[in-house]
Amino acid sequence: MRSVGILGTGRCLPEKEVSNYDLEKIVDTNHEWIVSRTGIYTRRIADDNTATSDLSTEAAKIALERANITAEELDMIIVATVTPDMNFPATACIVQSNLGAKNAAAFDLSAACSGFLYGVSMANQFIKTGVYDHILVIGAETLSKIMNWNDRNTCVLFGDGAGAVVLGPTEEGSGILSTHLGADGEGGKFLTLPAGGSRMPATVQTVEDNLHYIKMDGSEVFKFAVRIMGNAAKKALKLCDLGVEDIDYLVPHQANIRIISSAAKRLKLPMEKVYVNLDVYGNMSSASIPVALDEALEKGKFKKGDNVVLVGFGGGLTWGSCVIKW
Ligand code: UT7
């Protein structure tokens, strides 16, 4: 089996910032509530002409350049998203065309906020077994397009963005040490976009009933998240014979500062070893972890040999974790 590492990372965030004060003007909320309950101050929102594939393509170009890989050298493109440009073709195929990655297979992956880690896990299998050499994994969302701006339970939480990584063979003993994935379909009802699929096709009525927007039972998702973040991280650590004391840095899904703090506490990690950017981006679902990873790298947060743990949870319900020896 070959060792698999991250060869390059990139991110793309829309320019437009929407602060909590901006939201106060459109929905019954306030800055103090949002900050104290979530840790979010502002988020980026894509303009009307920007779709998920646009953000994905820009993030991918940067990741490819940093990995020193041409688009033609890619064997596969995975786009993890719940906000594809359209139902089909896959956003990954649109990105393939944008990049000119003509030798790459391409597909979208639907695992909500855990999607990026699901994608990394898939890519890891293909590369370590020698089937493929270079795989681009993108986590990208334009959640603003499926948000009901009159629903204060959801519209204050989310933001748009994309993060990309190029995975490939790396020196033995470094790179991905383990991955762990899980799902609990029983909890699917807590986070949904009800209409527009085969169960409830789009009609004038579904539009009038706001059924094409995110619906969430926040407190149920919160309870699940607090439990699963620590457990999932521990599971991945155990799979590579490491313990919580071996974690050098944690890059968690960015949903709520209270969820992140409680995960850090369960893992006995000081917050200095945890990357947080939800204050400026909100929850970007599948894009949260790759954008955080890219920023953490840029800020020199990891040293060679560090054990970096990525952990996320989301709709499905789903969760995932991954240990990387940097
Ligand atoms: O990536 C995975 C996706 N989602 C998540 O991870 C979300 C997980 N859940 C959460 O982060 C939290 O549950 C929320 C931030 C969504 C909510 O925080 P909470 O502490 O669980 O608040 P709550 O839902 O219990 O609501 C408390 C109060 C309610 O008022 P009453 O019923 O006590 O009078 C809400 O109506 O806060 C009210 N409220 C708001 N007030 C001002 C809910 N949303 C808002 C708002 N502004 N935006």
CATH number of residue 312's parent domain: 3.40.47.10
Could you list the beta-strand ranges (E) of the chain. 4-12, 17-19, 42-44, 76-80, 105-109, 135-142, 160-169, 175-183, 191-192, 215-216, 249-252, 307-314, 318-325
Helix crossing, 257-266 with 31-38: angle to 10°? 20
DSSP letter for 164, please.
E
Looking at the structure, tell me whether residues 150 and 185 fall in a common domain. Answer: no
For 208, the domain range is 176-274+293-325
Looking at the structure, tell me whether residues 137 and 222 fall in a common domain. Answer: no
- Count of the separate structural domains present in the chain: 2
What pLDDT is recorded for position 309? 97
**Mean of pLDDT values over 21-26:** 96
* End position of a domain, from candidates 173, 189, 219: 173
Split at pLDDT 50, 70, 90, the class of 184 is very high
Q: Is 283 a catalytic residue?
A: yes
> What number does the ligand 1 atom closest to the CA of 283 have?
1
What pLDDT is recorded for position 281? 98
CA neighbor of 191 nearest in space, from 160, 164, 223: 223
What pLDDT is recorded for position 76? 98
Looking at the structure, tell me whether residues 75 and 209 fall in a common domain. Answer: no
**Mean of pLDDT values over 221-226:** 94
Contact 156, 27 (CB under 8 A): yes
What pLDDT is recorded for position 56? 98
Region of residue 282 (phi > 0: left; psi between -120 and 50: alpha; otherwise: beta): left
pLDDT, tens digit (0-9, with 9 covering 90-100), for 103-158 = 999 999 999 999 999 999 999 999 999 999 999 999 999 999 999 999 999 999 99
Distance between CA atoms of residues 160 and 252, nearest Å: 17
What pLDDT is recorded for position 120? 98
Looking at the structure, tell me whether residues 149 and 218 fall in a common domain. Answer: no
Looking at the structure, tell me whether residues 121 and 224 fall in a common domain. Answer: no
Q: Is 212 a catalytic residue?
A: no
Looking at the structure, tell me whether residues 28 and 162 fall in a common domain. Answer: yes
| Residue 25 CB coordination number (10 Å) | 7
Distance between CA atoms of residues 148 and 128, nearest Å: 42
What pLDDT is recorded for position 181? 98
Spell out which residues line ligand 1, taking CB within 6 angstroms. Answer: 29, 33-34, 37-38, 113, 152-153, 156, 191, 216, 218-219, 221-222, 225, 255-256, 283, 314
What pLDDT is recorded for position 8? 98
Q: Is 113 a catalytic residue?
A: yes
- The answer to whether residue 249 is domain-embedded is yes
What pLDDT is recorded for position 265? 93
Looking at the structure, tell me whether residues 250 and 153 fall in a common domain. Answer: no
What pLDDT is recorded for position 185? 97
- Give the pair of three-digit tokens for residue 245: 């004391």
| Residue 210 CB coordination number (10 Å) | 13
Question: Cβ-count burial of 61 within 10 angstroms (0-12 exposed, 13-18 middle, 19+ buried)?
Answer: middle
